[in-house]
Amino acid sequence: MPISDADVHAYVDGQLAPERAATLEAAQASDPVLAARVAELRALNTALRDALDPVLAEPIPEQLLAAATFANARAPGFRRWLGPAFAVAATLVVGIGIGWFGRDALIERAGTPTTFARQAAFAHALYAADANRPVEVWANEEKRLVTWLTKRLGFQVHAPDLNGVGYALVGGRLVAGNENPTALFMYENADKQRLSLQVRRQVAGGGETAFRYAIENGVGVFYWIDDACGYAISGSVDRAQLLKIAHVVYGQLAAAEAAAPN
């Protein structure tokens, strides 16, 4: 079947079936127009993410969060028979209005991060600030650390070498996440600034690899999905520098994956 525009859009969005995606990838090698179209759509997606992700990262308005508990707050003032019915109706309306975003915000108020970026920033801030015990296993036992985390996560993990960008491995630990356990590798530069790389199994894995950026309580996070794994590099450093380091990490992980025996 000829490749349609819908196929191209689905491919760029990571929604195309694997067999069809392989056909499209092969076609790009001999069709520069198709390759240019794919590159154009990917650039557009990146521009949209850069423009709109900050909006998605904004906190839920207080009025909507307050509405989530409106029924419970007002029910005692209503007639006894009307209170339960109003509570159900209000819950349905609020649920439609704020959905899972409101749920996430309410859970987060209780101190529980609800997205990978938030979890990564939270874990980084917690452990990077610990001068004495930021990790469970130190860098002098790197091989044991990698083996241990690989076993706990159920897939091969790697500790990238960031000495080329001025950061040495401090060590690592296992972090409990909202969905899956997470491996955390801590790095430090000569000025005692710390970065953390966090890796976990991604439930909704697959799709296009794309770097996304978020700021959570002053901690910058670049995160991406590659195959069935999610990665996040976090630190209180300049966005451009963090992106450069994220590219180094991605390149080393890709090379390690390519060198791994099948």
Residue 107 has pLDDT above 70, yes or no: no
Residue 33 confidence (pLDDT): 87
The domain limits of the chain are 5-56, 62-109, 116-259
CATH topology of domain 116-259: Phosphorylase Kinase; domain 1 (3.30.200)
Compute the CA torsion angle 211, 113, 228, 32 (nearest 10 deg). Answer: -20
- Residue 64's pLDDT is 59
Going by the DSSP 8-state scheme, the letter that residue 178 receives in this structure is S
- Pairing mode of beta strands 194-201, 212-216: unpaired
Convert the pLDDT of each residue in 63-77 to its tens digit.
655 655 554 454 454
- pLDDT computed for residue 85 by the predictor: 47
For the entire predicted model, the pTM comes to 0.59
Are the CB atoms for 242 and 222 separated by under 8 Å?
yes
pLDDT in tens, 8-57: 888 887 778 888 888 988 998 888 889 888 888 888 877 777 766 666 55
Higher pLDDT, 223 or 90: 223
For residue 262, give every residue at least 6 positions away whose Cβ sits within 8 Å of its Cβ, in sequence order, or none: none
